[in-house]
């Protein structure tokens, strides 16, 4: 990528950096990320938490409703199952009670029984009936079988030999006696007044000639039934018409009352001594409500602390579903209590399952919704990005066009500059040439003067020489010819100098070893007969110093300067010339110092003017320094002059340092 491409990329990044699409920031085109719109009342996190709470609440509500439903269903199932069991227990109870239903009546048919009722004091007969009754009471369920006369006095009993024999006791107050005396079979549950053992009494009238003369009673034990209930783990109880519990799987419930007992009922109980001394404490729910509704239908109850059943010796605080059935024809009610814990646990398990399922479904729905929303946001962001990119590309194209135009304009300017440079170079060359021409113009006056005079003299001398030869004055003619020769030589020198000056040839600078050029000049000088009194000292501070110059012209300048110095010290008995070369400020500098008379103040301003000379006529032309300066300047150098502080003059040639290796020849 070129610099222009890099610049565009940089601009694009900078531009994009300013419009980065981040959640919650306005997108190009005014779109905004919906989740975190500036000024939005709710941040995404709190919205997520709110949704979560809503999901939880909904799941909990569904869970609670389903729990109620499931509990109702479980309770219904439990009630159904309990009703079946209740039916079974009722049947077994009735079977147990009715098993000996006919026994009193059958026993009453016995002749001895009838005879005893006629002769109650007949001890032999009483003994016979006692033994007879004893013999029929061997069944474990039968507690006792006894015969009561019309006054309620027991004449004979199966337990006649026991300490607590019924014989001699009067049971005329017992309902079973009374109903039998009225000719109806009697059924009665109560606590024995003699043995204080509870039992079920079955009675039947004993008739003679159609008249009731006595009552035969069979007392049945129901302990085995209660034991069976207890062993089965069922919670069962049987209450009588008044609500007093006769039988119960839990001993603590026995002789307690399910219903409030009215005073007349209490008085009657006291009279019949049905429950003997039992206080008939209420057996109710923990909130004081009865265990059954008024119509006998069941309900869910928690038993009062003193009514908790003992299961395996420990009281259980549980909630129960109570159900009951009437046990006809006794006007009893069989009640079963079913533990609700299992039903509740099952309902809870099912409700939890439903809650979890709802939670899962709702969470999935929320997540799906959030994902969809995120996808929509991403799509919106992508569209916004695409719009940005399109915008960016348009801008880049716009800027590229502008840059291309600017580039083109720059190229045009560069071309114009190159043209200008060329024009400048040409102008400078022309100016240099023009400068030379100006100098030439200046010189032409001098040349005119310098050449016209000898020409005029030559003409005159030549005429004179001819006349002198005609006159035979050869010697004088010869002198004239010498003068003509001198003048011609002078003119030749001028022309030679001018030839150098006028040559416009392009200097072709090359690396020139300064030390070599100086030694070449000194060698040349020796051939020209330098006075031995004049000492030339050479000092090269950098022996390898090289200047970028034209070697011939450079040496020509040096020779001219050395010659001038020698001329200046001509009248001195001795002289000294120091040639010092050094590198200074990126230039090769050669300084020539002599200890001659120096340059007079009046001469200094005219030193580099053409044909200015202080030398006697014929000795100097006044062109050396002018031409030397022209040469040095054409090589991009400088030629300066001045006076030493002590004595003599100095001339300094400065040239560019050589590029590359110098030629040392
Ligand atoms: P010319 O040598 O023909 O006189 P130049 O241009 O070489 O012409 O010198 C001009 C004049 O500069 C000389 O006439 C002289 O007066 C003066 N000049 C040159 N070199 C020196 C020098 N080393 N010391 C004193 N004067 C000098």
Could you tell me the CATH number of the domain that includes residue 157? 3.30.450.20
End-to-end CA distance of the chain: 52
Check if the beta carbon of residue 204 is closer than 8 Å to that of residue 104: yes
Ligand 1 within 6 A of 568 CB?
Answer: yes
CA angle at 628 for the pair 626 and 631, rounded to the nearest 5°: 110
Between residues 487 and 253, the one the model is more confident about: 253
For residue 660, the model assigns a pLDDT of 66
Count of C-beta atoms within a 10 Å radius of residue 476: 15
The pLDDT-based confidence of 90 (bands split at 50, 70, 90) is very high
- Token look-up 């939005």 returns 40
Taking the C-alpha atoms of residue 339 and residue 323, their distance in angstroms, rounded to an integer, is 12
Any domain includes 664: no
Contact in structure between 55 and 366 (CB atoms under 8 Å): yes
599 lines ligand 1 (CB under 6 A): yes
| Confidence (pTM) | 0.50
Atom 19 of ligand 1: nearest residue by CA position: 564
Do 201 and 242 share a domain, yes or no? no
User: Would you say residue 5 has pLDDT above 90?
Assistant: no
Residue 429 confidence (pLDDT) = 63
**327 and 361 share one domain:** no
Q: Which has the higher per-residue pLDDT, 307 or 280? A: 280
Q: Using the mean position of ligand 1's atoms as its centre, give its distance from the Cα of residue 541 in Å.
A: 27
Of 147-156, 233-242, 455-464, 486-495, least confident by mean pLDDT is 486-495
B/e letters for 236-251, b = 16+ CB within 10 Å, e = fewer, are bbbbbebbbbbbbbbe
User: What average pLDDT score do residues 24-42 get?
Assistant: 42
594 Cβ closer than 6 Å to some ligand 1 atom: yes
**Same structural domain, 191 and 231:** no
User: Would the CB of 308 count as within 6 Å of ligand 1?
Assistant: no
For residues 454 and 585, membership in a common domain is answered with yes
Cα–Cα distances (Å) from 554 to 571, 590, 654, in that order, read: 28, 11, 11
The reported pLDDT for the residue numbered 31 is 40
Q: Do residues 640 and 555 both lie within one domain?
A: yes
Angular region, 331: left φ>0, alpha ψ -120 to 50, beta rest:
left
Report the C-alpha gap between 302 and 300 in whole angstroms: 7
- Residue 12 — very low, low, confident or very high, per pLDDT cuts 50/70/90? very low
Q: Identify the domain containing residue 608 by its residue range.
A: 436-656
**Considering only CA atoms, which of 141, 259, 256, 254 is closest in space to residue 202?**
141
- From 493, 613, 619, 653, give the residue whose CB has the most ligand 1 atoms within 8 Å, as the site to mutate: 613
Tell me how far the alpha carbon of residue 575 lies from the centroid of ligand 1, in angstroms: 16
Taking CA atoms only, the protein residue closest to ligand 1 atom 21 is: 564
- Which atom, in ligand 1's list, is nearest to the CA of 619? 3
- Phi and psi at 419, nearest 5°, equal -60, -45
Higher pLDDT, residue 424 or 462: 462
Confidence of residue 33 (pLDDT cuts 50, 70, 90): very low
Distances in whole angstroms, Cα of residue 146 to Cα of each of 135, 143, 186, 283: 12, 10, 14, 34
Beta carbons of 569 and 594 less than 8 angstroms apart: yes
Residue 269, pLDDT score: 87
pLDDT at 14 (0 to 100): 39
Same domain, residue pair 415 and 442: no
pLDDT of residue 530: 80
Q: Whose CA is nearest to atom 23 of ligand 1?
A: 565
Residue 579: pLDDT band (50, 70, 90) is very high
What pLDDT shows up at residue 508? 75
Under 8 Å between Cβ of 656 and 514: no
For residue 337, give both structure tokens: 């209590």
Rounded distance from Cα 143 to ligand 1 centre (Å): 179
Lowest mean pLDDT among 145-159, 361-375, 413-427: 413-427
Task: Concatenate the DSSP letters of all residues of 278-332 into one string.
Answer: ----B--BTTS--SS-TTS---EEEB-GGG--EETTEE---EEEEEEEEETTTTE
Q: What is the pLDDT of residue 16?
A: 40
| Residue 17, Cβ density class (10 Å: 0-12 exposed, 13-18 middle, ≥19 buried) | exposed
Give the pLDDT of residue 319.
85
Least confident of 18-32, 150-164, 527-541: 18-32
Q: What percent of the chain has pLDDT over 70?
A: 85
Residue 3 pLDDT > 50, yes or no?
A: no
Nearest CA to ligand 1 atom 10: 613
Angle at 407 between CA 406 and CA 413, to 5 degrees: 90
CB 622 less than 6 A from any atom of ligand 1: yes
Identify whether residues 390 and 462 lie together within a single domain. Answer: no
Q: What spacing in Å lies between the alpha carbon of 615 and ligand 1's midpoint?
A: 7
> Mean per-residue pLDDT for 287-292?
84
| Atom of ligand 1 at shortest range from CA of 620 | 3
Under 8 Å between Cβ of 136 and 112? no
| CA–CA dist 122, 115 (Å, integer) | 9
Task: Report the nearest atom of ligand 1 relative to the CA of 596.
Answer: 24
Q: What are the tens digits of pLDDT across the range 489-533?
A: 777 777 766 666 555 455 578 999 999 999 999 988 887 778 888
In degrees to the nearest 10, what's the CA dihedral of 191, 193, 195, 200?
-40
Q: Of all atoms in ligand 1, which is nearest to the CA of residue 564?
A: 20
Q: How far is CA 207 from CA 204, 217, 401, in A?
A: 9, 14, 139
**458 domain-assigned:** yes
Asked whether residue 390 is domain-assigned, the answer is yes
Domain finish residue from 221, 253, 279: 221
Asked if residue 193 is part of any domain, the answer here is: yes
Instruction: Report if residue 49 sits inside a domain.
Output: yes
Task: Give yes or no: residues 254 and 320 share one domain.
Answer: yes
- CATH number at 457 reads 3.30.565.10
Residues 420 and 484 in one domain: no
CA of 613 to the centre of ligand 1 (A): 6
Which domain-ending residue is among 183, 206, 221?
221
Contact (Cβ atoms closer than 8 angstroms) between residue 117 and residue 208 = yes
207 alpha carbon, distance to own chain's centre: 105
Q: Residue range 590-616: average pLDDT?
A: 91
Structure confidence at residue 44 (pLDDT): 66
Residue 430 has pLDDT above 70, yes or no: no
Q: Is 142 a pocket residue for ligand 1 (Cβ < 6 Å)?
A: no
pLDDT(65) > 90: yes
User: What value does the mean pLDDT of the chain take?
Assistant: 84
Give the domain-ending residue among 366, 401, 425.
425
What pLDDT score was predicted for residue 420?
72
Residue 430 included in any domain: no
Which tokens hold the place of 15? 């531009």
Residue (of 132, 135, 138) closest to 155 by Cα position: 132
26 DSSP assignment: B
Higher pLDDT, residue 436 or 203: 203
Q: Which residue has the higher pLDDT, 590 or 459?
A: 590
Res 300 pLDDT > 50: yes
Between residues 588 and 627, the one the model is more confident about: 588
Give the number of domains in the chain.
4
Tens digits of per-residue pLDDT, 454-465? 787 888 888 888
Residue 63 sits in the same domain as residue 161: no
pLDDT, residue 618, reads 67
In a domain, 663, yes or no: no
Span from the CA of 614 to the centroid of ligand 1 (angstroms):
7
8-state DSSP, 257: B
* pLDDT on residue 469: 87
Instruction: Tell me what pLDDT residue 484 has.
Output: 85
Rounded percentage of the chain residues whose pLDDT exceeds 90: 42
User: Residue 55: which pLDDT band, with cuts at 50, 70 and 90?
Assistant: confident
Distance 482 CA to ligand 1 centre (A): 28
**Most distant CA atoms of the chain, gap in Å:** 244
Q: Is 184 exposed, middle or buried (0-12, 13-18, 19+ CB in 10 A)?
A: middle
Tell me the pLDDT band of 428, cut-offs 50, 70 and 90.
low
Ligand 1 atom closest to the CA of 651, numbered from 1: 23
Residues 83 and 5 in one domain: yes
Query: Domain check: are 350 and 320 in the same one?
Result: no
Pocket of ligand 1 contains residue 641 by CB under 6 Å = no
> Could you tell me which residue, 538 or 475, shows the higher pLDDT?
538
The pLDDT value recorded for residue 20 is 40
Q: How far is the CA of 564 from the centre of ligand 1 (A)?
A: 6
Query: Which pLDDT band, with edges at 50, 70 and 90, does 148 fall under?
Result: very high
pLDDT of res. 22: 40
Residue 495 belongs to what H/E stretch?
helix 474-502
Question: Has residue 648 been placed in a domain?
Answer: yes
DSSP bridge pairs for 496: none
pLDDT in the model for residue 437: 63
What is the CA angle 480-485-487, rounded to 5?
A: 95
- Please give the distance, rounded to the nearest whole angstrom, from the Cα atom of residue 563 to the centre of ligand 1: 9
Contact yes or no for 580/539 (Cβ under 8 A)? yes
Per-residue model confidence (pLDDT) at position 451: 73
Q: What is the four-CA torsion angle of 21, 26, 31, 32, rounded to 10 degrees?
A: 90
């Amino acid at each position: 990528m070129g610099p222009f491409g890099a610049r565009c990329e940089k601009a694009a990044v900078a531009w994009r950096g300013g419009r980065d699409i981040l959640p919650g920031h306005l997108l190009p085109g005014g779109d905004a990320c919906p989740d975190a719109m500036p000024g939005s009342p709710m941040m995404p996190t709190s919205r997520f938490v709110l949704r979560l709470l809503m999901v939880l609440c909904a799941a909990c509500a569904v869970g609670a409703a389903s729990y109620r439903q499931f509990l109702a269903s479980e309770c219904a199932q439990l009630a159904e199952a309990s009703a079946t069991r209740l039916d079974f227990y009722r049947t077994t109870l009735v079977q147990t009670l009715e098993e000996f239903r006919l026994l009193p009546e059958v026993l009453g048919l016995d002749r001895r029984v009838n005879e005893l009722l006629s002769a109650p004091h007949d001890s032999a007969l009483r003994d016979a009936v006692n033994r007879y009754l004893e013999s029929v009471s061997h069944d474990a369920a039968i507690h006792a079988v006894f015969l009561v006369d019309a006054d309620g006095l027991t004449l004979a009993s199966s337990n006649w030999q026991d300490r607590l024999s019924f014989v001699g006791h009067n049971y005329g107050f017992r309902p079973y006696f009374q109903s039998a005396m009225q000719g109806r079979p009697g059924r009665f549950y109560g606590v024995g007044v003699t043995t204080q053992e509870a039992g079920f009494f079955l009675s039947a009238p004993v008739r003679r000639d159609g008249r009731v003369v006595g009552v035969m009673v069979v007392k049945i034990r129901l302990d085995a039934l209660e034991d069976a209930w207890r062993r089965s783990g069922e919670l069962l109880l049987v209450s009588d018409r008044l609500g007093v519990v006769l039988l119960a799987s839990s001993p603590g419930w026995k002789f307690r009352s399910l219903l409030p007992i009215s005073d007349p009922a209490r008085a009657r109980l006291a009279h019949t001594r049905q429950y003997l001394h039992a206080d008939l404490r209420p057996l109710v729910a923990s909130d004081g409500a009865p265990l059954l509704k008024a119509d006998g239908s069941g309900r869910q109850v928690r038993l009062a602390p003193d009514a908790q059943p003992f299961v395996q010796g420990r009281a259980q605080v549980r909630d129960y579903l109570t159900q009951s059935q009437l046990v006809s024809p006794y006007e009893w009610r069989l009640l079963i209590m079913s533990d609700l814990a299992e039903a509740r646990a099952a309902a809870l398990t099912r409700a939890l399952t439903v809650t979890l399922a709802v939670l899962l479904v709702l969470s999935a729905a929320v997540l799906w919704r959030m994902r969809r929303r995120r996808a929509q946001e991403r799509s919106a962001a992508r569209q916004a990005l695409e719009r940005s990119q399109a915008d960016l590309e348009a801008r880049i194209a716009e800027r590229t066009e502008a840059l291309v135009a600017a580039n083109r304009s720059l190229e045009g300017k560069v071309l114009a500059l190159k043209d200008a440079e060329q024009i400048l170079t040409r102008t400078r060359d022309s100016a240099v040439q023009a400068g030379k021409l100006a100098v030439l113009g200046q010189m032409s006056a001098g040349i005119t003067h310098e050449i016209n005079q000898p020409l005029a003299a030559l003409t005159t001398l030549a005429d004179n020489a001819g006349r002198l030869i005609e006159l035979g004055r050869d010697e004088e003619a010869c002198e004239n010819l010498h003068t003509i020769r001198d003048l011609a030589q002078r003119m030749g020198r001028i022309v030679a100098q001018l030839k150098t000056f006028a040559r416009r040839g392009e200097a072709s600078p090359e690396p020139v070893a300064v030390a070599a050029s100086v030694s070449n000049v000194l060698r040349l000088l020796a051939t020209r007969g330098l006075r031995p009194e004049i000492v030339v000292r050479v000092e090269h501070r950098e022996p390898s110093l090289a200047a970028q110059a034209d070697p011939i012209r450079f040496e020509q300048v040096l020779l001219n300067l050395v010659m001038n110095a020698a001329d200046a010290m001509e009248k001195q008995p001795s002289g000294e010339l120091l040639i010092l070369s050094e590198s200074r400020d990126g230039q090769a500098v050669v300084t020539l110092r002599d200890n001659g008379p120096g340059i007079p103040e009046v001469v200094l301003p005219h030193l580099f003017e053409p044909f200015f000379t202080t030398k006697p006529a014929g000795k100097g032309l006044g062109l050396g320094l002018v031409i030397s300066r022209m040469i040095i300047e054409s090589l991009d150098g400088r030629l300066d002059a001045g006076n030493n502080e002590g004595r003599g003059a100095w001339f300094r040639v400065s040239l560019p340092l050589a590029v590359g290796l110098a030629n040392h020849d």
